Chains A and B, each alone.
Chain A
Amino acid sequence: DAKTTQPNSMESNEEEPVHLPCNHSTISGTDYIHWYRQLPSQGPEYVIHGLTSNVNNRMASLAIAEDRKSSTLILHRATLRDAAVYYCILKIRINYGGSQGNLIFGKGTKLSVKP
């Protein structure tokens, strides 16, 4: 499985944008880029995913580099509730268009948000 590299920790101020980077230099052309986060004392939560183009949803935006070797999760206005560990995960796309079932988690980035 292709590997991802994330900073161990980042800090942000409340109501400011946060850019969480992820390097995945060995990504293949068929890998999806997924982001999940885990709030304290909870199970992981899906945030966003993409393949080649930038993506937006109600939680965040995902900016994917043109060569796909890196991506950035953007939280437009961080809140205290966004303090969590963020995981960048590559998932192998399989024949029918979706990806294989299991997630391979790395260490993730622990985001702290200061009031």
Chain B
Amino acid sequence: KAGVTQTPRYLIKTRGQQVTLSCSPISGHRSVSWYQQTPGQGLQFLFEYFSETQRNKGNFPGRFSGRQFSNSRSEMNVSTLELGDSALYLCASSSMGYRGRENIQYFGAGTRLSVL
């Protein structure tokens, strides 16, 4: 079974631009979560999608948004990039929704975003 795939792996943007990152979950997984990892703040939760609906959201400004498609693939978008948005963005998928089964998250390798 293929793992979580994130594209692109590396990205360089300049301040003020916008960026879209993509995540393909493990086949059959309907939940996709996004995290930001920086040296200063560590791993922080951005948002979670399940069946195309945002179910949970972290404490990030509105410049960070996401969506999920009917095939469970997800994208996250950051508009008006700032230098502080430079980070590793991680996507995780899980088979959330099955009764009695614990929610285990499987992470991709991430997209490294550098904002210049």
Taking Cβ atoms with an 8 Å cutoff, the residues of A that contact B are 32, 36, 41-46, 49, 87, 91, 96-107
Contacts and interface: CB of A to CB of B under 8 A. Distances in A.
Contact of A96 (B4, B45, B99): B99
A99 B103 contact: yes
Interface residues of B, number: 30
Contacts, number: 69
Interface of B: 4, 31, 33, 35, 42-45, 48, 50, 55-56, 58, 90, 92, 94, 96, 98-110
A92 to B, nearest CB: 11
Contact of B96 (A42, A46, A101): A101
A44 B107 contact: yes
A97 B99 contact: yes
A84 B104 CA distance: 19
6 contacts: A46-B106, A97-B102, A100-B103, A102-B45, A103-B33, A103-B45
Contacts of B110: 43
Given A43-B92, A106-B42, A101 B55 contact: yes
Given A43-B90, A101-B94, A101-B96, 8 more contacts: A32-B102, A44-B92, A49-B102, A49-B104, A98-B98, A98-B103, A101-B33, A103-B92
